[in-house]
Structure 1
Amino acid sequence: MEVQLLTPDVTHEYWTMYFDRSVMAPGPGAGVVLISPDGSRLCYAICLHFLASNNAVEYEALINGLCIAIKLRATRLYVHGDSKLVIDQVMKESSCTSPLMIAYCQEVRKLEDKFQGIELHHVPRRDNDAADFLTKLAAKRKPSLSGVFINDIHELPVCTLEGPT
């Protein structure tokens, strides 16, 4: 007699995400750390190959992290970032003033709809050191370390180029 073990469905448990940005030579970089419900860590260094402000790179980190979480089939997510401005804009505690920031914020809202539960939290910079390390790795264009995924982005997403709709 064969016994089949049920695979636990972890899609309804919370994942945790940390994101950060760095704008330094030779180019801007973003870092994302995703922690699965079972504690597994996935680290992403995102190299941006276009000029961008600190806030734009912070949004790139957040948006890329959300897209990665969606691809990993995470349905519930705790998001932590050290940019109070970006967190406040997404949480509607602060308004966006530039068309680019409005477009970025709208893109985050579209992605939020793909989760059953999502919470964004501001954390002090000292509590975001793993994502910060990845941003510097990406910004310096250093070769990948074992266990770190490198994503290269060569242009702003179409949604942000078109501006708000």
Structure 2
Amino acid sequence: MGSRGAGLILTSPNGVVTEQVLRFEFSVSNNEAEYEALIVGLKLANELKVEDLKVFSDSQLVVSQILRDFETREPSMQRYLQKVRDFTSILGSFNIQHIFRTENLRADQLLKLATSCMSELPKATVLENLQMPSTEEPEPTLCIETKPS
């Protein structure tokens, strides 16, 4: 059984809250969905030039893999973990902590919204449809110089 979406909440130090709903247009396990949400959050933090990031997740497996408490054996999980490490390596400070699902109710509400229709989403909520796993995204390329052939 897999997940069809994920919820993500970003809170700035001065209390500005951004909520994002992710819809997956590909098959994804619950743990892969947790990694996808984390990677989207890390991308956004990178775009916003965040230097110090604290993450709270209700996935004990994902948190434990990132903290190196659990071994990551499955190849798909290894690819997700590497993607997370690539993003966290450019941060000044990165801290991830496991929280209980009961402490993560708003993210769970956003997850339910991920499977609802657009009209049910709060206006301030960002919806992103992910077409492929983030581990399969092509690396960006930059064309420096071109010459006619």
**Which TM-score tier does this pair reach, normalised by the shorter chain?**
0.7 to 0.9
The Cα of 1:160 is off from its aligned counterpart by 4.4
The aligned counterpart of 2:130 is 153
- Classify 1:161/1:41 alpha carbon distance in 2 versus 1 (closer, same or farther; 3 Å): closer
Match of 1:104 in 2: 80
1:4 matched residue in structure 2:
none
> How far apart, in 1, do the equivalents of 2:7 and 2:82 lie?
21
Q: RMSD over aligned Cα, in angstroms? A: 1.7
Q: What runs of 5+ residues in structure 1 fail to find an aligned partner?
A: 1-21
Correspondence for 1:54: 30
Between the aligned partners of 2:100 and 2:136, the Cα distance in structure 1 is 28
Q: State the TM-score, normalizing by the size of structure 1.
A: 0.77
Please report how far the alpha carbon of residue 161 of structure 1 lies from its aligned counterpart in structure 2 after TM superposition.
Answer: 7.4
How far residue 60 of structure 1 moved from its aligned partner, in angstroms, is: 0.4
Q: In structure 2, what is the equivalent of residue 87 of structure 1?
A: 63
TM-aligned CA deviation for residue 38 of structure 1: 0.6
Check 1:140–1:103 CA distance in 2 against 1; reply closer, same or farther (3 A cut). same
The size of the alignment, in residue pairs, is 136
Amino acid at match of 1:138: A
- What is the CA–CA distance in structure 2 between the aligned matches of 1:30 and 1:85, rounded to whole Å? 16
Q: Which runs of 4+ in 1 moved over 3 A?
A: 140-143, 159-162
Helix, strand or coil at the partner of 2:56:
strand
Equivalent residues of 1:47, 1:141 under 8 A apart: no
User: What is the Cα deviation at residue 140 of structure 1?
Assistant: 3.2
Give % identity.
32
1:139 is displaced (CA, Å) by: 2.8
Equivalent position SS for 1:80: strand
Question: What letter corresponds to residue 145 of structure 1 in structure 2?
Answer: P
Give CA deviations for 1:80-134 in whole Å, capped at 9, x if unaligned.
0000000000110001111100000000000101210110000010111111111
Q: Distance in 2 between matches of 1:77 and 1:62?
A: 12
Please state which structure has a larger fraction of its residues in strand: 1
Structure 2, unmatched stretches of 5+, are 139-149
Residues 120-135 of structure 1 mapped to structure 2, 5 A cutoff = 120-135=96-111
CA distances 1:51-70 after superposition (whole Å, capped 9, x unpaired): 11111111101111111111
Q: SS at the partner of 2:104?
A: helix
